[in-house]
Amino acid sequence: MTRGVKSTVDTRHLTPVTRMTLWKVYVSILLVTAAEGGMNTIYPPFLEKSRYTIEQIGWIVALFGVTQLAARLPAGALYGAGSAKPLFITFVVLFILSTIGFAYAGGTIYLLALTLLHGFAFGAIGTVMLAWIIELKPANSSHGATMGWYTAALSAGYSIGSFGGGYLADHLGFAFTFLGIGVIPVLSILVGLTLPTPTVPLVPPPVESGKPRNRWSLKELRGVVTRNLVLATLIAFYLNLLDDGFAAFFPLFGLSVGLSLTLIGLLKSVKSLTATGLRPMSGVIFRYIDFKTLNNVLIITWAFAMIIFPSLREMWMFALVFIVIGACRGLLRVTSATMIAEEKARDTRGIGIASGVYNAGLDAGAFVGPLVAGYIASVTDIPTMFRIMPLALLAVYFPVALWVGRTQLKSQDEASV
């Protein structure tokens, strides 16, 4: 052995992972996103009823994205095979408390504090679970299939929660709905307690004597943030930029054209169900269409659907547009997550940080989307905002995507010389 270097192979007992283990992960995250789906449906109308203006609603909803973003890298840095379970349980408890808290009256400071805590907890849960599912994946399971089912579970939860939240709010009011959806993640904790540690022994690179472990240098961080991770994070950013900007104000638009909260929740469920149904089949789709082409087609289609949406008034037309949006979001979420999973399968070092960076892209979009949407809607109106947002997206996305693509192509050419 080289002098001054010591081996650091983790030889602890590791529980075998089966497909049932993966299903437990899927159920755990489904229960959390079911609560979040209900929250997303009723929160903007709840704020409107509390007499906040459209611009203020945009700012407040955007706070979810801010604290989700703030949670990603700390949660990723804390992540480890041995710490995944206690981290998950801790953050779910915070998520439950912050959700139930909205059922009780309080001033603006109280509401903002709960919003910040809720966003932080949800962001941390997503970071831990993505890294956990990647490490728990059995050797005989493909990354595309695993991430397809994982993201399908995310959508299924949103689908159930969106409809359930809208229905409960229509019939029982906001306070009871916050209490109801806040209790759901308790079941996620019970399932999470049965999850094992990964089957693959963690084999970190050799560490020089006297050099502390678990401290990231800037050079090491740059090694984790690859071009592939940048592209996946870019897609994640635009994904939530459109979706969260739209989701923050669709309930208000829907109420203005005569839809009930139940129907609004149903439409959001249709979107999530479409994504849920497509994601497990994504592995087959990716055999025939490459990621780059599919990403571009989906971005354009999604933008077009949003542009025509404000002109529609029939329920079946609304449903059709939500199906299209659900398909685009569902597949884009799988392509970007699979890019991370495949890369980290080759080198698991920094898997928590990579998960944090990728999810930070989602959170940045979740923050910017409602904020920009609220500003545009306050200057113009909500229908006009629905048309401007996707056009601005296309103007920014394709130059950046082209730049990343050319950079990757140049690197491949240099490697082949």
Nearest to 31 by CA among 77, 86, 88: 88
């993505």: which residue's tokens? Answer: 130
Q: How far apart are CA 277 and CA 327, in angstroms?
A: 9
Residue 103 lies in a domain: yes
Residue type, 275: A
How far are the Cα atoms of 56, 106, 112, 187 from residue 109, in angstroms, in the given order? 14, 8, 5, 30
Q: How far apart are CA 253 and CA 235, in angstroms?
A: 27
pLDDT of residue 315: 92
């401290």: which residue's tokens? Answer: 215
Residue 254 lies in a domain: yes
Contact 37, 177 (CB under 8 A): no
pLDDT-derived band of residue 187, with 50, 70 and 90 as boundaries?
very high
Residue range 138-155: mean pLDDT, rounded: 75
Alpha helices in 257-314 (DSSP H): 261-278, 282-288, 291-308
Count of residues for the chain? 417
Q: How far apart are CA 17 and CA 198, in angstroms?
A: 7
Residue 303 lies in a domain: yes
Contact 277, 310 (CB under 8 A): no
Point out the least confidently predicted range of 68-72, 246-250, 292-296.
Answer: 292-296
pLDDT of residue 266: 94
Residue range 16-30: mean pLDDT, rounded: 82
Dump pLDDT digits (tens) for 356-399: 788 788 878 888 888 899 999 999 999 999 999 999 888 877 87
Nearest to 294 by CA among 303, 283, 285: 285
pLDDT-derived band of residue 207, with 50, 70 and 90 as boundaries?
very low
Contact 323, 357 (CB under 8 A): no
Dump pLDDT digits (tens) for 115-137: 999 999 999 999 898 888 877 77
| Residue 152 reports pLDDT greater than 60 | yes
pLDDT of residue 348: 56
pTM higher than 0.75: no
Burial class of residue 131 in the structure, from the number of CB atoms within 10 Å of its CB (0-12 exposed, 13-18 middle, 19+ buried): buried
% of the chain beyond a pLDDT of 90: 40
Name the 3-class secondary structure at 287: helix
Residue 216 lies in a domain: no
pLDDT-derived band of residue 204, with 50, 70 and 90 as boundaries?
very low
Better-predicted residue by pLDDT, 231 or 27? 27
Nearest to 143 by CA among 315, 336, 411, 367: 336
pLDDT of residue 9: 38
| Residue 195 reports pLDDT greater than 50 | yes
Domain count, the chain: 1
Dump pLDDT digits (tens) for 34-43: 999 999 999 9
CATH number at residue 196: 1.20.1250.20
Residue 4 lies in a domain: no
Contact 234, 401 (CB under 8 A): yes
How far are the Cα atoms of 44, 48, 80, 318, 355 from residue 324, in angstroms, in the given order? 23, 28, 38, 10, 28
Nearest to 111 by CA among 43, 34, 179, 32: 43
Q: Phi and psi of 193, rounded to 5°?
A: -65, -25
Contact 236, 363 (CB under 8 A): no
Average pLDDT score over the chain: 81
b/e string for 333-350 if b means 16 or more Cβ within 10 A? bbbbbbbbbebbeeebeb
pLDDT of residue 41: 92
Residue 5 lies in a domain: no
Domain hosting 244: range is: 16-202+224-411
Residue 217 lies in a domain: no
b/e string for 318-330 if b means 16 or more Cβ within 10 A? bbebbbbbbbbbb
| Residue 246 reports pLDDT greater than 60 | yes
Residue 84 lies in a domain: yes
